[in-house]
Amino acid sequence: MVTLYEHPLSPYAQKCKIALREKGVEFELKQPGAIGSGVAGPNEFMATNPRGEVPAFIDDEVRIFDSTIILEYIEDKWPEPALLPATPAERARVRMIEEVCDTHYEAINWGLSELTWFKRATGTLEQSLRGQAATQIRKIHGWLERQLGESDWFNGERFGWGDLCVIPYVAGSIGHGNPPARDSALSRWADRVRVVPSVASTLADAKVVPSGRGMGDVASLLEQGLFKREYRDHRLEWMIRSGGVDVVIKGLEKSNIRFSNDFE
């Protein structure tokens, strides 16, 4: 049986869980003990992903990190049912949607999590960051609508890779109070995708995290120095370009943010 290190709220892990469920591959889920704490192994999880991020995937001797690379492996090893569309052009189109969601879209929801759960800003800075996030999400929803066009599915004729890589982020936005516009094509698509069994069970997992809802009282754990959140790549860029450079500076001063680990 394969093993997936995950956190139920991680959109990247959700992509992999949906794919495994679509393929009918049996898997065991594990949550790394110190995820988000910046504490690095040595352990099986860190040996699988030196970045200390979920998802991380183990299939016997094979160890893989990064959700896109995990999805590629799953598609290669268990080709049926195919999740990618058939033609090179369609596959490239779907991969571009995934790339946009994993970088541009994810960063916005992540920024809102930093505000809601980790209380990184208050007052006018919080309001300004939230306002910018809402505008950015409206824009990216518009972009997604244009990618969807007249189709029922991002993947083409049926549910697939193009859909499983978008739904974790749209579900995250709904959770943060930024749903797709009412009666829009994206909102109708979300209703359609949410009931696909592999998606429904993956989103249901996200509601059963310890302490009931969301991330619980992680802000006080942050204050106690028990969390050291990763500000990497597009997330760091989002915080700075949206006006939160002070959040980054404060996090560095208090040592409750981290950048990438060294590869050794």
Ligand X SMILES: N[C@@H](CCC(=O)N[C@@H](CS)C(=O)NCC(=O)O)C(=O)O
Taking contact as CB under 6 A, which single stretch among the options 66-74, 160-168, 170-178, 188-196 is the one that binds ligand X?
Answer: 66-74
Residues near 149 by Cβ (< 8 Å), separated by ≥ 6? none
Helices (H), the chain: 11-23, 44-48, 67-77, 88-100, 106-116, 123-148, 161-164, 167-175, 185-194, 197-207, 218-223, 233-241, 245-254
Q: Does 168 bind ligand X (CB under 6 A)?
A: no
Torsion of CA 83, 86, 89, 93, to 10 degrees: -20
Which CB atom, from 232 or from 250, has the smaller least distance to ligand X?
232
**Six token digits for residue 58:** 């183990």
Positions in 202-261 near ligand X (CB under 6 A): 229-230
Q: Does 6 bind ligand X (CB under 6 A)?
A: no
The residues pairing with 4 across neighbouring beta strands, listed in sequence order, are: 29, 57
Taking contact as CB under 6 A, which single stretch among the options 53-61, 74-82, 118-126, 136-144 is the one that binds ligand X?
Answer: 53-61
* Count of Cβ atoms closer than 10 Å to residue 205 Cβ: 17
Positions in 17-36 near ligand X (CB under 6 A): 35-36
Q: Does 8 bind ligand X (CB under 6 A)?
A: no
Contact pick of 8, 55, 85, 175 for ligand X (by CB under 6 A): 55
Contact pick of 4, 12, 118, 140 for ligand X (by CB under 6 A): 12
Positions in 96-155 near ligand X (CB under 6 A): 102
Helices (H), 42-105: 44-48, 67-77, 88-100
Residues that bind ligand X (CB under 6 A): 10, 12, 35-36, 52-55, 66-68, 102, 229-230
